[in-house]
Amino acid sequence: MSEQKPVRHILSLSGGKDSTALAIYMRDRVENMEYIFHDTGKELPDTLDYIEKLEAYLGQRVVRTTTRESFDDVLRTKGGMLPSGKRRWCTELLKLKPFEMYIGDEPCVNYVGIRADEDRVGYISHKPNIKPVFPFRDDGIDYAGVVRILEDAGLGLPPYTEWGRTRSGCFFCFYQQKIEWVRLKQHHPELFEEAKAYEKPNRVNGKVFNWTDESLETIEAPERMAQIEDNWERAKERRRARQHKRPLVAVLGGLEIEESPRDGCMICQL
Ligand code: SF4
């Protein structure tokens, strides 16, 4: 009779608030949890600091599953074609592949930080030996609950939220909003420059790929930055006005509306 392999328990961190809160929540609930983080080498320094703080809280190392092939290596094999929503090779090669390689073929329970107030499933590995579970959804933990867990543990929200970035993942992630590019320019000008340097004619056909629908050179022009900030303020006002119309039960229940739009890939941003 073949020996049954023990089931591994794995929690994959993105450096975002939900997976971090889940790590805190599960710390005393599951023995032998393995915490992993897929570092693309292009993460924000703020994210790396946050992961280190979490390690201190957990009293356990978070395993970095970084692949030998860097973002720049893969980009070369793609002829300089930057990833985009339609060509999302980065998620597959720099996040999902290392995740599946780390797990191998052993049976594993994978803990995913989708919250109770989120209406999505969206798990992206389909390997049969990986069983996803959703403790926050099962235990009714919503956005306000996640914020509470992070505050009680002394970590608070990820540090990049202080300067207005809403997502973890690579500093040049093409999912970021225009306002986040402006904030990157203001708070990490060196990273903005690094991102801008990728927008150059590629070796194969001289075509220029941009991270967004306009070049970063256009975005950084002072008048364009001011316009983006102005549009953002107006949108915020409209959101605030909508919030005032929320039912009293939601206000009393502490239900908060998350500012971050949830597009993007879960493995990078949960
Ligand atoms: S964070 Fe964005 S750029 Fe980085 S791997 Fe994920 S989708 Fe790609």
DSSP state of 149: H
pLDDT band at residue 209 under the 50/70/90 scheme: very high
Query: Closest by alpha carbon to 100, among 67, 135, 62?
Result: 67
* CA-to-CA separations, 125 to 82, 99, 100, 118, 243, in angstroms, rounded: 23, 9, 8, 19, 36
User: How far is it, in rounded angstroms, from Cα 63 to Cα 42?
Assistant: 17
201 dihedral zone (left: phi>0; alpha: psi -120 to 50; beta): beta
95 lines ligand 1 (CB under 6 A): yes
Provide the pLDDT for residue 251.
Answer: 47
Provide the pLDDT for residue 263.
Answer: 56
Q: Which helix (H) or strand (E) holds 10?
A: strand 8-13
pLDDT band at residue 243 under the 50/70/90 scheme: confident
83 lines ligand 1 (CB under 6 A): yes
228 lines ligand 1 (CB under 6 A): no
Query: Closest by alpha carbon to 124, among 114, 115, 139?
Result: 114
pLDDT digits over 21-59, tens only?
Answer: 999 999 999 999 999 999 999 999 999 999 999 999 999
Q: How many residues does the chain have?
A: 270
| Sign of the alpha-carbon dihedral angle for 26, 27, 29, 35 | positive
Provide the pLDDT for residue 203.
Answer: 74
44 lines ligand 1 (CB under 6 A): no
DSSP state of 201: B
Average pLDDT of span 1-10: 81
Between the CA of 170 and the centroid of ligand 1 the distance, in Å, is 5
Probe target for ligand 1 pocket from 39, 94, 171, 260, with the most ligand atoms within 8 Å of CB: 94
Pairing of strands 108-111, 130-133: parallel
Average pLDDT of span 168-189: 95
pLDDT band at residue 107 under the 50/70/90 scheme: very high
Closest atom of ligand 1 to 94 CA is 5
**Mean per-residue pLDDT over the chain, rounded:** 88
Q: What percent of the chain shows pLDDT beyond 90? A: 66
DSSP 85-99: SS--HHIIIIIIHHH
pLDDT band at residue 257 under the 50/70/90 scheme: very low
Q: Which two tokens stand for residue 145?
A: 């609950």
Q: What are phi and psi of 43, to 5 degrees?
A: -80, 160
165 lines ligand 1 (CB under 6 A): no
Residues in contact with 196: Cβ distance below 8 Å, sequence separation at least 6, in sequence order: 216, 217, 220
pLDDT of 125 over the 80 cut: no
Probe target for ligand 1 pocket from 19, 268, 270, with the most ligand atoms within 8 Å of CB: 268
Find the DSSP H helices in the chain. Answer: 17-26, 45-58, 71-77, 89-90, 97-103, 135-138, 143-152, 178-187, 189-197, 216-219, 222-244, 248-252, 266-269
Average pLDDT of span 197-214: 88
pLDDT of 252 over the 80 cut: no
More confident residue, 258 or 167: 167
Provide the pLDDT for residue 264.
Answer: 59
pLDDT of 250 over the 70 cut: no
Provide the pLDDT for residue 124.
Answer: 62
Query: Residue with the nearest Cα to atom 4 of ligand 1?
Result: 170
Provide the pLDDT for residue 113.
Answer: 93
User: How far is it, in rounded angstroms, from Cα 165 to Cα 179?
Assistant: 8
Name all domains of the chain by residue range, CATH numbers in brackets: 8-270 (3.40.50.620)
pLDDT band at residue 256 under the 50/70/90 scheme: very low
User: How far is it, in rounded angstroms, from Cα 59 to Cα 123?
Assistant: 28
Among the residue ranges 66-70, 88-92, 136-140, the one predicted with the least confidence is 66-70
Between the CA of 103 and the centroid of ligand 1 the distance, in Å, is 21
Q: What percent of the chain shows pLDDT beyond 70? A: 87
pLDDT of 248 over the 70 cut: no
Between the CA of 79 and the centroid of ligand 1 the distance, in Å, is 18
